[in-house]
Amino acid sequence: MRKIYFDNAASTKIAKEVLDEMHPYLDEYYGNPSSVHEIGKPLKVIIEDSRDAIADFLKVKPKEIFFTSGGTESNNFSIKGLAFKYLGSDMNHIITSSIEHPAVLETINYLKDKFGFEVTILKPDSKGRITKANVLNAIRPETFLISIMHSNNETGVINEVQEIGESINHNEIKLHSDSVQSIGKTIFNPRELKIDFATLSAHKIYGPKGVGLLYVRDGVKIEKYIHGGGQERNMRGGTENVAGIVGLKKAIELLQANMQNDIEHYSKLNEYLRNELNNSFGDSIIYNSQTERALPNIVNFSFDTNKVSVVEDMFLIQLDMKGIETSGGSACSSGSLKPSRILLELGRDEKTAMASLRISFGRENKIEEIDYLISKLKEIVKMK
């Protein structure tokens, strides 16, 4: 049976070049980077070379890069690391949004429930965005952290993060941005965006799972996250994932070489999919993704169940049975057969949210695969 993968926002296929680059560090170079002997010492150099290369891509300082296990850890590291510095002080207010990834919302709710931090959760506007005005209106004298994702993992919308960063006093308030989806799909420079913390996960950019990074602006102080060793400049204990770090570096190098072509490719597929949906289903399509100020690789849409018949709780399974692998939202909740929380926040009712798809393109997707998707949707979705 034909298999088509349209779930690249959940995870990309590791690039062959990345796999080849990693292999020696899973076999021949097996030492511990903290060791002082001949097998261990060169690995520390490899780690720092990788840090330099990645910092160059992001246009930041190498010392601002901390390697982690991925986006979830990076979000926890920055949010908890900053909050714990303010424990017991008058600075106890955090601003975030209702469309954040669970790695952000659950972390902030943990701080609220266990340590008494006060939290303001902002709603998106009619376009699904978190705006500067909304954030600035929520700031209080005791606010020390704003956490707003750069782009949403389900809709691809790009929030007004740079405008927020340019409008706050960074001596008093720090800006954290979950940027996992943005890297490689839009120009992303933490310094230009005025972000204090940014996150990256390798498996979203054709790298391996289990490795990522946290950017911490030089001069910002946070508490150590994982105790037990002096790795990562004594900020994250544990033996480094050398093969993963090497793979992340190679994935970044491929981005540097291919990013413009990638973006053009995603944009072409995005436009073609929308045209085919419009031609095939007309006004029964409700777009949850914008065409402006949005990532080019994500198209999120719902079927208007007043105009078409869809078996909502079987929709994704029916597509999977026809060889189309996609999702109705975040990979963290896609196995639950519940409506997307993000789409409910955008005002969709539960039935419409369940009749939704997030199509997220990758480098290997082709126009012909969209044609196949449309043909199978016509078999599954019946006009009333």
DSSP string, 147-177: E--SB-TTT-BBPSHHHHHTTS-TTT-EEEE
Q: What does the alpha-carbon distance between residue 283 and residue 278 come to, in Å, rounded to a whole number? A: 7
- Environment class of 247 (CB within 10 Å of its CB; exposed 0-12, middle 13-18, buried 19+): buried
Regarding whether 210 and 89 lie in a shared domain, the answer is yes
Does the predicted model carry a pTM greater than 0.75? yes
Structural domain containing residue 190: 16-254
Of 230, 254, 278, which residue sits at a domain end?
Answer: 254
Per the CB < 8 A criterion, the answer to whether 320 and 291 are in contact is no
Active-site residue flag, 332: yes
The structural domain count of the chain equals 2
Regarding whether 184 and 112 lie in a shared domain, the answer is yes
Tens of pLDDT, residue by residue, the chain (384 residues): 689 999 999 999 999 999 999 999 999 999 999 888 878 889 999 999 999 999 999 999 999 999 999 999 999 999 999 999 999 999 999 999 999 999 999 999 999 999 999 999 999 999 999 999 999 999 999 999 999 999 999 999 999 999 999 999 999 999 999 999 999 999 999 999 999 999 999 999 999 999 999 999 999 999 999 999 999 999 999 999 999 999 999 999 999 999 999 999 999 999 999 999 999 999 999 999 999 999 999 999 999 999 999 988 889 999 999 999 999 855 554 455 688 999 999 999 999 999 999 999 999 999 999 999 999 999 999 988
Dihedral Cα 160, 163, 169, 174, nearest 10 deg: 30
Of 236, 254, 272, which residue sits at a domain end?
Answer: 254
> CATH code at 370?
3.90.1150.10
Per the CB < 8 A criterion, the answer to whether 115 and 143 are in contact is no
> CATH code at 78?
3.40.640.10
Regarding whether 231 and 280 lie in a shared domain, the answer is no
Per the CB < 8 A criterion, the answer to whether 165 and 136 are in contact is no
Residue among 65, 18, 32 nearest 251 (CA): 18
Regarding whether 222 and 109 lie in a shared domain, the answer is yes
Regarding whether 203 and 319 lie in a shared domain, the answer is no
Q: Which of 121, 332, 344, 374 is catalytic?
A: 332
Regarding whether 250 and 294 lie in a shared domain, the answer is no
What angle in degrees, to the nearest 10, is found between the helix axes of 367-380 and 242-281?
A: 60
Find the angle CA(153)-CA(155)-CA(158) to the nearest 5 degrees.
80
Of 206, 234, 254, which residue sits at a domain end?
Answer: 254
Per the CB < 8 A criterion, the answer to whether 268 and 70 are in contact is no
Regarding whether 249 and 176 lie in a shared domain, the answer is yes
Dihedral Cα 20, 26, 29, 32, nearest 10 deg: 140
